[in-house]
Amino acid sequence: MQHIRNIAIIAHVDHGKTTLVDKIIHATHLFRENQESGELIMDNNDLERERGITILSKNISVTYKDTKINVIDTPGHADFGGEVERVLKMADGVLLLVDAFEGPMPQTRFVLHKALELGLKPIVVINKVDKPNCRPEEVHDQVFDLFFNLDATEEQLDFPTFYGSSKQGWFNTSLEQTDSILPILDGILQYVPEPKVEEGTLQMQVTSLDYSSFLGRIAVGKVTRGSVKESQWIGLAQEDGKIIKGKVKELYIFEGLGKKKVSEVFAGDICAIVGFDDFQIGDTFVDLENPEPLPRLSIDEPTLNMTFSINNSPFFGKDGKYVTSNHLKERLEKELEKNLALRVEQTDDANTFLVFGRGILHLSILIETMRREGYEMTIGQPQVILRNINGEQCEPYESLVVDVPEEYASRVIDLATQRKGDLHIMETKGEMQHLEFEIPSRGLIGLRSQMLTATAGEAIMAHRFSEYKPFKGQIPGRNNGVLVSKNQGSATAYSIEKLQDRGRFFVDPGEEVYTGMIVGEQNKPGDLVVNIVEGKQLNNMRAAGKDKDGNIAPKILMTLEECMEYIQQDECIEVTPNFIRMRKKILTEEERKRAERMAKS
């Protein structure tokens, strides 16, 4: 049997995880020329490349000093915690990557807590020591305090530390610069234990899944006991206790950036099994004669929900390929198979589904992926999930950390306290003020865009779910009203120019609009219905002077997440492959007024 190490790399967003994995690939001379071509090669998806964040965990494997190292790159956002919680089950050690200036962030804490609970051996890597203002020794002390606060064992507290720069490609046990990343690989061999192998029959829990158009669904996990062979008959223990008999058609292990077909996999290695279609994440492959399933994976509960329904706007079906409620239902059910932190419920309306997730980013990535696949849908306002605990209504609270230049600190505190946030820590880090708040999750919806506006884009925000606490009452929403289109047609430069003193627009001249669509933000509270499709009267009378059509301010571009945070209870978002439009749920002004009267009576 080959020597094996299984290690997961965890870090906050932008602390350099994926760069470190790239350097490990280069250091072990694993070039793309050697890799197997075909369906099974892992590749980053477009969304990850565009946003520069890891969304899906990925496995690669490198060989160093005759030892196979399985490296698992994990997402840094707490919103993708479900992805992290399940893949940590495959690891025996964890590489905690921390920025030498920022130190451990809230989402680092979340993932580290999960790793320590599972008893994984930690190695701390303090990255970006080449940056100005970095403070590696201070960050090392903060990491130790974090371990202590998370109830790490004596053995876990005695963690080895490496300093260096992923970008420059060097690491060392001291701050002295070297020219190599190999000390980290030596550290993995020295400090990460070999996989624990128990005596007994086959046990392999499915912790991830892959898909190939040739082979169908592929189960990925670590063989914790026994071994599994190609063409062997084995059992699949499901959630309801049933054991399904099946044959292993093909067996793969991870090698380099792809997978390699093998005839047998022994305990301790991570492998992929082809031959079973009816499996879920958390199921266990077992021996048919002596089945002993492993306990199922437990995943933290979602904190937000949103309604997903068919697109019922006047532009329905113009842009997308999949537009019916059946299409929507099938796609959400498919997502549930691999997205463990997601829940979907059918509502009283057959065309509407309630989707529960970990946060705005978690749900927006799902919506973005669906629209790129050709789906059209209508998305409602995100709502936090309230719970009744000991007879009291409770809501989720989050720990919010903001790093901001000193001159903007008072504005940040003001914005957070307006939204029922309590300031717990305020300290100076270099030229930045470090602020920590406890704030209801509701207060975070829409806060990021306000905070970036108030701090000229300088604020760095991070937050993570902490606990459920008593409901804190009403939180003020959006201050300004919206401009709503009165007619359907093409927006004209003439109308937009005349209405510019009323607010800022989300559409440019020539864009198609419809009745009830939100076309801009008003300068004051309350909604205003406007006609932006009116053209200029073309008669023979001309006043002296030129037309002023050239004085139109450019439209405000809003991302999907910004729209999700912007809309109110009576509004929704129309999402199609090429357009994201905000609109009123009830399109005509008369109907909206009637509904308002009914609600009051």
Q: Which residues are annotated binding-site positions for GTP?
A: 14-19, 127-130
Task: Say how far apart CA 106 and CA 78 lie, in whole Å.
Answer: 9
Backbone angles phi, psi at 95, to 5 degrees: -100, 110
Instruction: Give the CA distances from residue 404 to residues 99, 101, 452, 560, in Å, rounded to whole numbers and listed in that order.
Output: 17, 14, 10, 25
For 7, 31, 89, 269, 406, the CA distances from 92, given in Å and listed in that order, are: 6, 26, 8, 11, 42
DSSP 586: S
**What is the dihedral sign for C-alpha 47, 377, 465, 346?**
negative
Tokens of 592: 């909206």
Choose among 372, 314, 52: nearest CA to 364: 372
Encoded tokens for 447: 């806060």
Binding residues: 14-19, 127-130
Among 457, 420, 423, which Cα is nearest to 440's? 420
Identity of the amino acid at 533: V
Q: Residue 378: enclosing H or E segment and its boundaries?
A: strand 377-379
What residue has token string 């077909």?
Answer: 261
How far apart are the C-alpha atoms of 56 and 18, rounded to whole Å?
12
User: Strand 284-286 and strand 243-247: pairing?
Assistant: unpaired
3-state secondary structure of 109: helix
Q: Which structure tokens are listed for 446? A: 């829409």
- Binning the chain into helix, strand and coil, the percentages to the nearest 5 are 25, 35, 40
Q: Report the C-alpha gap between 444 and 209 in whole angstroms.
A: 33
Beta strands in 287-351 (DSSP E): 304-309, 343-346
How many Å apart are CA 555 and CA 551, to the nearest integer? 12
Q: How far apart are CA 217 and CA 354, in angstroms?
A: 27
- CA distance linking residue 327 with residue 320, whole number of Å: 11
Which stretches of 163-303 are DSSP H helices?
Answer: 182-191
d(CA 272, CA 115): 23
